[in-house]
Amino acid sequence: MAEEFIPGAHILGSDPPQPAETVGYRLVNPHTPSNQNHLMLRIKNPEKSLQFYKEGLGFRTIFTFNTGLWTSSSPSVPNFRKVYYLGHPNSPEETSTEMLQTLGTRKGLLELYHIPHDETMRYESGNVPGVPGFGHVGFTVPNVAAALERLKKVCPEVKVLKDVGVDKFETMGVPGLGVGEERAGTENDIVEEGYKKVFRQLAFVEDPDGYWVELVPEVVV
């Protein structure tokens, strides 16, 4: 059995250094008093998700964990549930071993949870009309336009929901009002200019599972 599939073992990451273009990307600012440790997202295709979050958003693999064989609803599908724990290194030299040693006190980690299943299964983003819930995950980046271009370069299939500079009503992502509806803004829809000013500075994309990802500048004016 390949090392990465050994059940019950933490397999340390062996990624190359974080891409220079993604230095400064953060899910949580490490200098804030926030205690937010990690966010978990269920994924269908590890290859696509890891490409998006590692190459597109600069995460590195801290470890991969195979939970072992669980009871599967389909005998033909081995149900080896795998956890991919990702984080942004504090320096280019920080190793996965060092990141694991401080796992409990780190901020802004990302847990990608994969359960083998029928590829037709759909995970809801929380932004589907009639099925509201989870909204989006936001990342702070030094330059939103540059971060967006990098994502489009390394993940050609990425769906851009809203580009920088756009403040159209239908891109504001409010279930029942905006994205996903066959309905644009009307003269009766009023959005304050102060909100539109902030919104123009942001960008939104979909990750491979349809979760919304927001790109936020380090300074919002």
What are the tens digits of pLDDT across the range 75-90? Answer: 555 567 789 999 999 9
Look at the pTM and tell me if it is higher than 0.85: no
CB 64 within 8 A of CB 2: no
125 vs 200, more confident: 200
Q: What is the pLDDT of residue 56?
A: 96
| Rounded average pLDDT over 32-36 | 68
Q: Most distant CA pair in the chain: distance in Å?
A: 62
* Alpha helices (runs of H) in the chain, residue ranges in sequence order: 46-50, 96-101, 144-154, 193-199
CB 181 within 8 A of CB 103: no
* DSSP at 180: T
Judged by phi (left if over 0) then psi (alpha if -120 to 50, else beta), residue 176 lies in: left
φ, ψ for residue 149, nearest 5 deg: -65, -40
In whole angstroms, give the CA distance from residue 171 to residue 139.
18
Predicted confidence (pLDDT) per residue in 92-124, tens digit: 889 999 999 999 888 899 999 988 776 667 788
CB 210 within 8 A of CB 135: no
Q: Considering only CA atoms, which of 100, 99, 80 is closest in space to residue 90? A: 99
